[in-house]
Structure 1
Amino acid sequence: MASAARGLRWALGPLGLCWALGPAAATNIVLLLMDDMGWGDLGAFGEPSKETPNLDQMAAEGMLFLDFYTASPLCSPSRAALLTGRLPVRNGFYTTNGHARNAYTPQDIVGGIPDSELLLPELLKKAGYTNKIIGKWHLGHRPQFHPLKHGFDEWFGSPNCHFGPYNSTERPNIPIYRDWEMVGRYYEDFKIDLKTGEANLTQLYLQEALDFISKQQASQQPFFLYWAIDATHAPVYASKQFLGTSQRGLYGDAVREIDDSVGKILKHLQQLGISENTFVFFTSDNGAALISAPKQGGSNGPFLCGKQTTFEGGMREPAIAWWPGHIPAGGVSHQLGSVMDLFSTSLSLAGLQPPSDRQIDGIDLLPVILQGKLIDRPIFYYRGNELMAVRAGLYKAHYWTWSNSWEEHGKTAVLQESKLVLQGAGRKGKLALEMFFMLCLGANSTQIK
């Protein structure tokens, strides 16, 4: 049913006339989500050492997104936003929310993704997809939050990244799971050498991806692969063959191994003859963690600040779409995009409509990717209890503090910054920004004209 619906839809579109002869085959979906990788870490985005030839080739064969954003500058909220298509303030993962909070470490946080949320893999099941997550889940560690309870069929990875080591019964190291079974812990059964940075985890995650793709191709079953590895999150690691090979130190070694792994995944799809039926998107959960720099953190290019801030360095991410035979090679888009759009875009690829019983903040990017269109997004905002920002056209404003108390800091700083932003904005931008501050920050619009 879903495949037939998708075939009909594309038959009515300007690029899909040849598909009108019959139902279109379901498109495989591969989302490659990095952890704390910055906008400026890839050669295609201007990194001068140019040590990412495979990702640069992916960009040359597909489409580069220069204005692509996460929904939060922190790990858990951005991942929840990707998988639900909804702002963290809607899905229960905004900063310091008592229900879910950020899920920094499983030992400290008891919340997770609410049962009321519909995740992308749950919806893809309706179109016959088999779904696998490899790597970091980070949406809750208790049994009720397990990824296999939220639409995934398989999991190899961890509820969190490789914090530690702890080596304590009171605060044990982070576990690694194969589906429901815990198969070991970081630093113990899965070694990470903090002195050298050596760990074989990326190679394990790569092999898991290759094996899953091969299995699904053999079964002729459409699949969704969510490859969410954590190699660029401090403490950074890389396998022995990549250690010492980068001009950028250990962090560069990790990026080089990721690049090599992505190249092998794309080549595998081509060798199996399914690359033209597989949509691949590469991005990061938030900007580079400058607190870990220079040895353990990446580059946010020309942008201000990084992870944990709503400035461009914390929110704007590298992004590449790849789909041979469908995406014109060498495309560059200035579409204002977001990780939340991957939810709506993936559903569209599967011939499914987004849920109608809730607000969905992501948009379908297929017209952008396939036809080079620009979709009007007059206002794009993100908000938690502590981190707030809004973009209207080229203009952006922030309210940034680590306190939950609006009264403690007062409105003066926000209003001063607002005046500066509004002075340069056009009428449409001013109206959008005024509405944001009036509704989200409690400021009277007459105060910020």
Structure 2
Amino acid sequence: MMFPNDMQPFVLYRDEKVVEPKPDQKTLNERFTEEAVKFVRAKREEPFFLYLAYSAPHIPLHLPDRLRGKSARGLYGDVVEHLDSGIGEVLKALDETGLADQTIVVFTSDNGPDTRGPYDKRGQAFPLRAAKATTREGGVRVPCVMRWPGHIPAGLVCREIASAMDVLPTVAGITGAQPPQDRIIDGKDILPLMTKPGAPGPHDAFYYYYAERGKTRGGPQRELEARLPAHCNGRHPV
């Protein structure tokens, strides 16, 4: 897919070819899972990178009828449970192919939840403040769960600040690959955060913005928010 499931055109691609102009969104979670499992089994003898971007639980919510009413959180909870099940199938495939110990799994999100609409059909960032499309914690602080048996200790909790931008330099460092030299790489190697309890974060400060709101954060107690001039609005480098 090229766009989120609430935008048009909403079409399904295989590589660069459109295979379905209007896919049934009720089936997408299962179809994405099936493709991911098939990919893992096919690549068991060679290095691979799998980027699995489910459309769920992005609004509007879609789910097979047989799975509705399963959770205590309404339709949103049902969709999340269905997502959990799909991720479990991918992890199972890694276990069954003997690839689990050689595979780094990173589960995260691109932003906080959309809190518009009825309670049972939307996300919730509580106790964090605000939600998607803001620079508050509820908009930019997202879950991140990693699995790498034998390297990442089970139950390790890290409270340092990190970013999805850190994945590239971290994986490059682990695999011995050389990051691109023709551009600035903002991410840092966070392998110590993943493997060593109490390791310090590699970032001195974070800066991020959305529309006219900008924010910097340099530690657990050092945070500053400011309103940017309207002419900035993300169009000029900082």
Q: Same fold (TM over 0.5)?
A: yes
Task: Flag the structure with higher helix content.
Answer: 1
Higher CA-based Rg: 1
User: How far, CA to CA, are the matches of 2:9 and 2:178 in structure 1?
Assistant: 41
SS of residue paired to 1:383: strand
Which of the residues 55, 58, 83 maps onto 1:233? 58
Q: Encode CA deviations 1:89-116: one digit per residue, 9 max, x unaligned.
A: xxxxxxxxxxxxxxxxxxxxxxxxxxxx
Which of the residues 34, 41, 44 maps onto 1:214? 41
Corresponding position: 1:160 with 2:160 = no
Corresponding position: 1:398 with 2:231 = no
Corresponding position: 1:176 with 2:15 = no
Structure 2 partner of 1:278: 103
Structure 1 partner of 2:132: 307
Contact 1:309/1:400 (<8 A) preserved: no
Change beyond 3 A, Cα 1:368–1:255: same
Change beyond 3 A, Cα 1:389–1:405: same
TM-score of the superposed pair, with normalisation by structure 2: 0.90
User: How far, CA to CA, are the matches of 1:212 and 1:344 in structure 2?
Assistant: 24
User: How far, CA to CA, are the matches of 1:400 and 1:388 in structure 2?
Assistant: 6
SS of residue paired to 1:317: coil
Offset, 1:204: 0.3
Change beyond 3 A, Cα 1:306–1:384: closer
User: How far, CA to CA, are the matches of 2:213 and 2:50 in structure 1?
Assistant: 30
- The amino acid that maps onto 1:256 is E
Offset, 1:215: 0.4
Change beyond 3 A, Cα 1:404–1:296: farther
User: How far, CA to CA, are the matches of 1:247 and 1:332 in structure 2?
Assistant: 27
- The amino acid that maps onto 1:308 is A
Which of the residues 30, 33, 50 maps onto 1:203? 30
Contact 1:231/1:238 (<8 A) preserved: no
Number of residue pairs matched? Answer: 232
Contact 1:286/1:307 (<8 A) preserved: yes
- Which aligned segments of 4 or more residues in structure 1 are displaced greater than 3 angstroms? none
Change beyond 3 A, Cα 1:251–1:202: same
User: How far, CA to CA, are the matches of 1:213 and 1:241 in structure 2?
Assistant: 27
Structure 1 partner of 2:201: 375
Structure 2 partner of 1:264: 89
Corresponding position: 1:386 with 2:212 = yes
Offset, 1:376: 4.1
**Structure 2 unaligned runs (5+)?**
none
**Structure 1 unaligned runs (5+)?**
1-157, 165-171, 193-198, 407-438, 441-449
Structure 1 partner of 2:73: 248
TM-score of the superposed pair, with normalisation by structure 1: 0.49
Offset, 1:374: 1.7
Structure 1 partner of 2:191: 366
Change beyond 3 A, Cα 1:353–1:335: farther
User: How far, CA to CA, are the matches of 2:88 and 2:216 in structure 1?
Assistant: 36
